[in-house]
């Protein structure tokens, strides 16, 4: 089982918005400082996830963590470092999952953070912090969610939702251990530079 680097910069995939997974972009983003790639494609079947996952695993090997949002059994088939589970699957405990896998939990409240830690989560992704085009109808929780979650758990916490150069530093100062992004890097014409600039913003407070 791997360990979560800190500060941790995570890049999520999103075929529904971008039409394909650009492996060259992922490679460049890792070169720029991305620590973790999360393969999050709920619309794809298992065979396609395995196909894409194996391609990404070749890029991340020895360079970044690969986390699958979904089935733990599929995660082992692509040699992923871990899985990401939604808040609604809190009934799945760490004892149900291979301990070779890091277990991430997506949470949206302080109480959910406490439940996730009790369920055996290794790290938490909390959001939605700011307005994001990925979930335009969701009302942002704001930076207070990070403060509340970090006060309730000792597990690493990453903020997600509308993260940019303008607000990434505030996430860390609120107590988080990193951020997770989609559009900030996928929309960039220079993903390596975008990742490098964002990673620099994360090196504040306890990470200086």
pLDDT digits (tens, 9 = 90+) for 4-54: 999 999 999 999 999 889 999 999 999 999 999 999 999 999 999 999 999
Q: Is the pLDDT of residue 137 over 80?
A: no
| Rounded CA separation 98/10 (Å) | 22
For 56, other C-beta atoms within 10 Å of its C-beta total 21
Mean pLDDT lowest among 51-65, 133-147, 161-175: 133-147
Q: Which residue did the predictor score with more confidence, 127 or 136?
A: 127
Nearest CA to 10 out of 20, 19, 26, 2 is that of 26
Q: Are strands 82-85 and 178-181 parallel, antiparallel or unpaired?
A: unpaired
| Rounded CA separation 57/81 (Å) | 9
| Rounded CA separation 156/113 (Å) | 11
Task: Yes or no: say if 173 and 204 are a contact pair by the CB < 8 Å rule.
Answer: yes
Scanning the structure block, which residue is given the tokens 């997770």?
Answer: 180
Scanning the structure block, which residue is given the tokens 């800190």?
Answer: 6
Q: Is the pLDDT of residue 1 over 60?
A: no
Q: Is the pLDDT of residue 135 over 80?
A: no
Percent of the chain predicted with pLDDT > 90:
80
Nearest CA to 119 out of 101, 92, 98 is that of 92
pLDDT digits (tens, 9 = 90+) for 94-130: 777 877 899 999 999 999 999 999 999 999 999 899 9
Q: What DSSP string describes 191-208?
A: HHHHHHHHHHHH--GGG-
User: Where exactly are the structural domains of the chain?
Assistant: 8-207
| Rounded CA separation 21/68 (Å) | 14
For domain 8-207, is the CATH number 3.20.20.70?
Answer: yes
Percent of the chain predicted with pLDDT > 70:
98
């Amino acid at each position: 089982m791997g360990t979560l680097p800190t500060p941790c910069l995570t890049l999520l995939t999103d075929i529904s918005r971008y039409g394909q997974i650009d492996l060259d972009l992922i490679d460049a983003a890792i070169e720029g400082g991305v620590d973790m790639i999360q393969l999050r494609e709920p619309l794809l079947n298992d065979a396609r996830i395995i196909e894409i996952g194996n391609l990404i695993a070749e890029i991340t090997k020895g360079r970044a963590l690969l986390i699958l949002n979904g089935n733990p059994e599929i995660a082992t088939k692509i040699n992923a470092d871990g899985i990401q589970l939604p808040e609604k699957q809190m009934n799945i405990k760490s004892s149900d999952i291979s301990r070779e896998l890091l277990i991430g939990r997506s949470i949206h409240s302080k109480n959910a953070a406490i439940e996730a830690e009790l369920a055996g989560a290794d790290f938490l992704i909390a959001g939605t912090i700011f307005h994001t085009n990925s979930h335009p109808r969701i009302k942002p929780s704001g930076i207070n969610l990070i403060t509340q979650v970090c006060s309730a758990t000792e597990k690493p916490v990453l903020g997600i939702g509308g993260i940019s150069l303008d607000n990434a530093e505030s996430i860390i100062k609120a107590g988080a251990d990193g951020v997770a992004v989609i559009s900030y890097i996928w929309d960039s014409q220079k993903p390596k530079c975008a990742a490098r600039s964002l990673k620099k913003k994360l090196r504040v407070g306890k990470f200086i």
